Structure 1
Amino acid sequence: MRTPPSRTGTRETDGSSVRIGALVPLTRPGWVEAGRHLLAGLELAARDVNDAGGIGGRPLELLVRDTAADPQRAADAVDELAGLGVAALAGEYHSVVARAAAARADAVGLPFLCSSAVLDALTDRPTPWVARLAPAQSHGWRIYADFLLGAGHGRIAVAAEPSAYWASGARILRDHLAPHGGAVFELDARTLTPAALCDELVGTRATALLLLTGFPEPAVSILRSVRRDRRLAGTTIGAPAGQPEFAEWAALTAEDGAAVPFLRYLPENPTPLGAGVEKALIEILDEAPSFVAFEGYDTVTVLADVLRTHGTDRARIAESWSGVEVEGTRGRIRFSREPGIGVWQWAWPPVQVVDRDPAAPGRLRIRHSG
C-alpha cells in the first residue's frame, strides 16, 4: 500500500482563509535539509503576508505535504490539495518530483509556482498552469561550465548515478564544453566502488571530477577517496547541484569538503528585502539560510501578490503569470516564455559558483558569477 501524503501543516479553519498547498521533501529519501530550508522560507513569507493584512483581510494558510522525493506521492498530494480547495501550489526541491507535480497540476488545472527544481523539461508540453522561480538547469550549468573553462579545466569527469536530472546535467556540460575543445568522461557511481572510480579517473586524465550523485552517499565516500589518492592530487572536485551549501555537508566532510565549487542562486550583494529576510531566517533555522530558503520566501511573496490582485480563481491566477512584477529577496521577479522551456520562467535569478574556504570551511567564497 502506498504511503499517503503527510498532513504536516494542516489545521482546521472556518473556511475564511486563502489556502496554498506546499510540496516539500521532509523525510528520507528526500533531501531533508533542503526541505527544511524551503519550508522555513515558505512559512516566514506566509507569516509576513498575514502580518501585513493577509489577502484582502483573509489569512493566508499553507497546507504542507511531505513528498519524501517520491514522484507518485507528490502527484497524489496535488490531487488531495486540489480537492481541499487550495488556490495554488508552491514549493518542491527535487526535479523529478516537481516534474510529476507539474504534470498533475497541469492535468487538474491547478496553478503551481515551483520554487527550486531546475530540470529544463519540467513539463512534456507547454502549459499555462506552471511557473518557476529557479533557473533552468541549462542556464545555471552553462555558467558552471564557463567557470570550469576559466579555471583551465577542459577534461571533466563526472561520477554519475542514473537519473534524468544527472543525465541532463552531464549533457549540458558536454554540449557547452565541446566547442571549446573540452570533453566529459562519465564514471558510473552506481557500479564502481570509490577506489575503482579513482582508478578510472586516473585513466581519463581529467583535471576535475563532478559529483552527480546522491548525498550523503555515495558523494561523501567518493570525495574522501579522491582526496586521499596521491595520484589525484590537485584534482578539482565539484558539486554543481549545491550539496556543499548545507551544514550537513560541512559536518560530514570536514576539511575534505572545502574547495568544492557548487551553484547557488543568490546575488553578490543582498537586496534590502533579502537582508531582512536573511536575518529572520537565521533566527528560525539557527544557521545561515541557503538559497533554497530564499526561493521559498519568494514563492509565497509572488503568489500573495497574484492573489491580492487577481483573487483565488485558479484560471485567473494561471493567466496572470505574464503580468507578475514583484520585488523578491534576490531581485525583481518577472516571468517569460523561454525557448525550450514549457513553463513560465523567471529569466533569470542571480547565479553564482561558490565554494567553502579551505582556511575557514564555515565561510563561503564566490568564485564566479553569471
Structure 2
Amino acid sequence: MKKYLLLLLAACQGLAVMAQTPDYKMKITMKDGTKLTARTDEVEDITFAKIGKTEVTISEKYKTSTSLGVNLEVGPNVSRIKAACVPASQTITDVKAFLEAKATVDYNGSYTKAFDFLTPETEYVVYAMAYDADGYVGDATQLKLTTGKVEDDPFVVETKNITTTTLDYVVSSKDPNVQFVIQTTGLDMYKQWCDEGANAGDVFQHFVNYWKAVGQMYGSSWQEMISLDARKGTYDSYADNNTQKVLLWDADQVIIVFGVSNEGELVTPIQITKARTLAPEPSNNKISLEIKTNEWEKFKGNVVVAAKTTNADTYLVNVQKASLVDPHLQSGDLAKWLLGSGQDLSFYAQSGDADWEFKPKEAGEKYYAIGIGLDAHGAPTTKPVIIDFVLAGGSSEK
C-alpha cells in the first residue's frame, strides 16, 4: 500500500510539473536498460493500475496416443493468450519470444486445445502466456504431459476405399457398452469447428450446437438427438452404405470419434485420426469453349456453350457471374471453389463434344463459362478453361 501511495504521489507531482512552463522532458529507464522518453507537453494522461494475475493455468483434459487435450484458463483481466506444444526434448530458452513467433493458440480468453497428431508415449511440454488489456505480458507457464499408449485408446479406427474425394472407415469401440459418434471432415473444417461461435477450441461444442439446432426443429432436447448419430460396437461406413463423399482432393482429412452418454456427457477422450485423399490423375483432354447462343427470354437468359474436347475423358462446364469468380481467380482457388461446394458434381459430367445449356438471370452482366476435367469422384483433372461474355438483354428487356 505504501508503494502504491508513493507512485500516486509521484504521478501527481508529474502532472503538476506538466502544467508548468517551461516544458520538461520525462525519461523512464527499465530494468533491462530500455529507456522511454517523452516531452511533458506531449503527454495527455498518466495512469497507474494495479497489475492483476496475468497468467494461464494449464491442466490436462484428456489424452490419447496421438492427442493431448488441455484446458487453458485465465482470469477476467486477461484479454489474450498464446500457447504451443513442443516435444520435451526441444529446448526453449526464451519462452515468451518462442510463443510470440510460434504459438498455435492465439485467443482472447480461456481456451480448450487439442494438440493432435503427436507421437504415442512421448513427453511434451505445453507453454502458455497471457496479456492484459494494455498488452502487458505476464509470466509464462508450462505443463509437461505424456501421450498415451495405442492400446489404451478407446477406439480402433481404420480407413479403406480412399479415393480423391471419398473414404470409408471402420470404427470399433473397445468398450462394447460405450455409444459413440463418428464424423469425417477436412482438417481445415475441423479447425474451423473448434473455433466457430463460442466453442473456444472445443470441437465437442460443434456437435452440441448441431444437436440443439435439430432438436429445436423437432421440439426435442438436444440430448434426445444424440441417439440419431450414436453407434455401438463396430461400425463400417461402407457396409452401412454411408461412404463419406465430397471431401477435398489431395488433402488431409480427420475422423473424429468420441463416446457420449444419452445425457450429453463425454465418456471418452476425443480421438482424432488423420487420413488423406488421393491426388487426381491428370488428363490431357484439351477443352475449348464457345458461346453458341446468348439470348434473353422472359426474365431469364438462354445461353448455350459449345464444348469441344480431344478425348473421351469426362469434364464439366459451368456458368457463373464474373463478380463471384474473380476473387477466386485472383486467389488461385477457382477449382476448389467451383467443385468443393459439398455436392458431388461428377453426376453432371459428360464426355466428348457437347452443348451445355444454362439459364442465367442477370441481363447485361458479365459471366464466365468455365470448363474443367473431372474424374469419377468429382476431382479436377485439368486446369479450368474460361471464356467471358455479357448476358444479352438490357433494362428494357428485363
- What TM-score results when the alignment is normalised by the length of structure 1? 0.21
Q: Write 1 or 2 for the structure with the bigger share of strand.
A: 2
Larger Cα-atom Rg: 2
Which structure would you say has the larger RCO, counting Cα contacts within 8 Å and 6 or more residues apart? 1
Q: Write 1 or 2 for the structure with the bigger share of helix.
A: 1
- What TM-score results when the alignment is normalised by the length of structure 2? 0.20
